[in-house]
Amino acid sequence: MSFPNYGQALFKPMKQERHEETNVNLYYFSDFERHNAEIAAFHLDRILGFRRIPPVIGRLINVIKEIKEVTTDHKLVTTFFNSPVGNTCFHGHCSYYCSTEHAVCGRPIKLEGSLAVMLPDLSLAPRHSWRSPWRRSYSRTNQAEWETNSNYCDTVKQTPPYDRGTRLVDVIDMSILDFLMSNMDRHHYETFEKFGNDTFLIHLDNGRAFGRHSKDEPSILAPLVQCCRVRRSTLLRLRLLSLPPYRLSDVMRASLSRDPLAEVAPLLTEPHLSALDRRLETVMQAIQDCLQQHQHHSDVIYDDIMDYPQA
């Protein structure tokens, strides 16, 4: 979406109800993108102290006045239609899911969606897209190497850019985020080229998170479990969010309540919030297992806050 002040944002429309879980028969690469997942991921990323997801906010859009009547995309206008119950729908033109069977519909003309701030144009701030070392096979039959080789991280540690700097612990931070929100769709990540390897990861495209609250996916934590490495700042934040006064579910509930769409309904249902606490316990146990497997804590904990008392 483009605005009169030349600003731009990426709009993801509502496709699933808040309470709906991902169909158990769907593969992770066939799942829907959820607008509330994009919003919740931004809040969770910020709560964890990462701040690597561009700002995302919920909006209620009038599909007639704010899309159909103002768009300059004439092909898009031709895809608008009224559903059998009188809701205004459209589907646009694209390679996947652009058909009347996968249309996006207002109620009757109001449509929920997430608006994410667009990153600077590539001509101003070039980005590099990196294939994740722990990328899934995106196949119904084949497995990736990391799924069958428990020593896979030894190879990653010797491979640039993971052989120096903070890139490896950056990826492990990202895996912790993804495990907490059950995002199996992290095939690539991006960085700004200007800073070389001395940079941070950009956690883009989180729409397939928060699909199921009733099941956890331990394989998402493979980078942490296989490498046994974690930032001390991340560990301290996770410990804090494990304490009753700062319970992760409570902090998320309070944070999400400030989003405009919270007036319509909570962005995450209570089962999803409870799942965050359960998964956090799993992460803490994984770190504890790593500490027990190594003689020195420094082999596990990457000390990124040298001036802070040991913990």
User: Is the per-residue pLDDT at 309 higher than 80?
Assistant: no
User: Is the per-residue pLDDT at 11 higher than 70?
Assistant: yes
Residue 31 structure tokens: 């799942």
Q: Note if 185 is an active site residue.
A: yes
Point out the catalytic residue in the list 185, 205, 299, 304. 185
Task: Identify whether the C-beta of residue 181 lies closer than 8 Å to the C-beta of residue 211.
Answer: no
Per-residue pLDDT at 20:
86
Q: How big is the chain by its Cα radius of gyration, in Å? A: 21
Query: Distance between CA 35 and CA 51 in Å, rounded?
Result: 19
Q: Which amino acid is at 28?
A: Y
User: Is the per-residue pLDDT at 208 higher than 60?
Assistant: yes
Mean per-residue pLDDT over the chain, rounded: 93
Average pLDDT (96-124) is: 92
Q: What pTM, to 2 d.p., does this model score? A: 0.93
Q: How many beta carbons lie within 10 A of that of residue 290, not counting itself?
A: 20
Domain assignments of the chain as residue spans, ordered by start:
120-302
Q: What is the pLDDT of residues 236-282, one digit of tens each?
A: 999 999 999 999 999 999 999 999 999 999 999 999 999 999 999 99
Q: Quick one: pLDDT band at residue 235, thresholds 50, 70, 90?
A: very high
The per-residue DSSP string of 140-207 comes to: SS---GGGT-TTHHHHHHTSTTTTSTTHHHHHHHHHHHHHHTT-----EEEEEGGGTTSS--B----T
Q: What is the pLDDT of residues 68-100, one digit of tens each?
A: 999 989 999 999 999 999 999 999 888 877 888
Helix pair 270-293, 167-180: axis angle to 10 deg: 140
User: Is the per-residue pLDDT at 311 higher than 60?
Assistant: no
Q: Which residues pair with 131 in a beta bridge?
A: 188
User: Is the per-residue pLDDT at 115 higher than 80?
Assistant: yes
